[in-house]
Chain A
């Protein structure tokens, strides 16, 4: 079953509104989570690293005031797309590593599809 869960799976909003996407690690703690975005027919691009208890670190070209990240607890990171515009429409996916017995698995959530009208 899923070990990283995202909510909502899809959301449609009007231009100018803000949208929050949640990423939860199930049954394990994640001090670090990662947010990616994927445009249609393209690969995933890392947006930012979400750090529990401290500020997120953003990749070059990603507006931190546009994409607010809050790592509220060891199992929850949220991505808020502020004042969303149609060009923000994309598939947003988070990831977290489940530490354990050396499996090296880096799990991804189911993704959240954002459509801005």
Chain B
């Protein structure tokens, strides 16, 4: 079965610093989603990547999917306290067609110190 591993598990950065969160899959990723979650709350959709080498940005957050479609990274530039939360990567369980059923990574807890 497919597994997603995220690293690091937790991260504390000083406000204004850049950071990167990684998500590695044991299988080729068909669709890779990034979400942010505040503890005990719902998931906020950030980005979805499908094509090898794809890169998307929204405000100060950039997500990339490698050419082999087995690894994705989420990069935050000039972090702010509002970026704090749990970041989850999710992969579509399909092997070539979208199922909309996601397997989630273990999550990365981000704290940003003012």
Contacts and interface: CB of A to CB of B under 8 A. Distances in A.
B40 A106 contact: no
B33 A106 contact: yes
Interface stretch (A14-22, A61-69, A78-86, A109-117): A109-117
A104 B31 contact: yes
B45 A34 contact: no
A46 B88 contact: no
Interface residues of B, number: 20
A32 B8 CA distance: 33
Contact of B50 (A104, A105, A113): A104
Contacts of B88: 43-44
Interface of A: 2, 6, 32, 34, 43-46, 49, 91, 93, 95, 97, 103-111, 113
Interface of B: 31, 33, 35, 40-43, 45, 48, 50, 88, 90, 100-107
Given A46-B102, A93-B42, 5 more contacts: A93-B43, A95-B43, A95-B102, A103-B48, A108-B43
13 contacts: A34-B102, A43-B88, A43-B104, A43-B107, A44-B43, A44-B104, A46-B101, A91-B40, A95-B100, A104-B31, A105-B48, A106-B45, A110-B42
